[in-house]
Amino acid sequence: MNNSHHRTSLAFQLAVIGIASGILTTGVAGHAMSGEPVAGRWDTYSDTWVAADALGRTLPTSEEVGPSRADKTVGIFYFLWLGRHGERGPFDISKILAADSTAMENPASELWGPMYAPHHWGESLFGYYVSDDDSVLRKHAQMLSDAGVDMVVFDVTNQLTYPESWRALCRVWDASRRAGNRVPQIAFLCPFGDPRKVVQELWDQLYGRSLFEELWFRWEGKPLILADPAMIPYGVTYERRDVPAELKAGMSLGQAFTAAAPFVSIGGTFPTWATIGGAVTLSLYRKGPGVTDHRLSP
């Protein structure tokens, strides 16, 4: 194939598995935590801590739940959208109802703010923060690790990947890891219906560029994405190929690729197209012998 790029529906090297809800626990196939930090891991012995909240609820002790189990991995969902849909407000439901007890029966009340604006149920420990606040992200990494959480699953089920947020988080968490702290690893929960757009964006923006590899949660050696595998093969995946193909007389720039999954179309980018006279020959092979040749003219 006379091109330096090709476009196919090949599923790239990501582990894509079915979707489950709630906290995710896996067996030993998962790769827990982010490996040894550059500066050496600093153990704060958080598994020995005891705690009680404002309602008097206490954490169970090892006598109640037993010791930690090396064959388990703990994951928890994490949301990236705070501040990504506008920063008006904040509109705090608890404070709105405290100011006007009838506001629930009056959706036109100015206290609610504009239609479709995000609302807080209450003010968090860190205030009304946004998802790219370095200090909050750093504290989240510490608190989650102290709680024994090995990986977080980013919810990107609404066709938005929030790259500004995950880039900020990965930058802060990777710096913390390099400083010797434990930090959770990351994975993504894709749309339940059609995950192709989101999976492609994650490949283009993160996995295909090998960014923050030490933070990737891996399943059977591959970065984990939660999606419906049946929906992936017919998506569009872009890959650069530099594998030379055996050329016939008069041909040049031959490239070869192998389709690891069914596809419905193939496209290419041809650097010499429209600059010199020429054509492209596409040959498809099944288990070795050529089954079809189709010649396209410019």
* Domain contains 97: no
* Domain contains 162: yes
* Final residue belonging to a domain, choices 227, 249, 269: 227
Same domain, 156 and 45: yes
| pLDDT level of residue 212 (50, 70, 90 thresholds) | very high
Look over the chain and give the mean of its residue pLDDT values, rounded to a whole number: 78
Alpha-carbon distance of 5 to 146, in angstroms, equals: 46
Alpha-carbon distance of 121 to 93, in angstroms, equals: 5
Looking at residue 254, its pLDDT comes to: 67
Same domain, 144 and 290: no
Looking at residue 8, its pLDDT comes to: 31
Same domain, 58 and 181: yes
Question: In sequence order, what DSSP letters do the residues of 251-285 get, joined into one string?
Answer: --SBB----SS--S--EEE-TTTTTSS--EEEEEE
* Domain contains 125: no
Quick one: average pLDDT of 217-237? 80
Same domain, 185 and 266: no
Same domain, 206 and 248: no
The residue written with tokens 């990986």 in the block is 151
Same domain, 145 and 46: yes
Same domain, 183 and 55: yes
CB-based contacts of 94, cutoff 8 Å, min separation 6? 121, 122, 123
Same domain, 172 and 63: yes
Structural domain boundaries, residue 169: 19-87+130-227
* Final residue belonging to a domain, choices 201, 227, 253: 227
Looking at residue 34, its pLDDT comes to: 47
* Domain contains 72: yes
Same domain, 283 and 175: no
Same domain, 154 and 205: yes
pLDDT tens-digit readout, 242-268: 556 666 676 666 666 666 666 666 666
Same domain, 142 and 265: no
* Domain contains 114: no
Alpha-carbon distance of 191 to 214, in angstroms, equals: 25
Looking at residue 228, its pLDDT comes to: 86
Same domain, 159 and 206: yes
Alpha-carbon distance of 218 to 207, in angstroms, equals: 12
The proportion of the chain whose per-residue pLDDT surpasses 70, expressed as a percent, equals 64
* Domain contains 99: no
Alpha-carbon distance of 37 to 33, in angstroms, equals: 10
The residue written with tokens 């995710």 in the block is 24
Looking at residue 29, its pLDDT comes to: 46
* Domain contains 142: yes
Residue 169 three-state SS: helix
pLDDT tens-digit readout, 93-151: 999 999 999 999 998 999 999 988 889 999 999 999 999 999 999 999 999 999 999 99
**Total domains, the chain:** 2
pLDDT over 90 (residue 273): no
Question: Which whole-number Å values give the CA distances from 91 to 110, 121, 156, in the listed order?
Answer: 10, 8, 23
* Domain contains 111: no
* Final residue belonging to a domain, choices 178, 205, 227: 227
Any bridge partners for residue 280, and if so which? Answer: 296
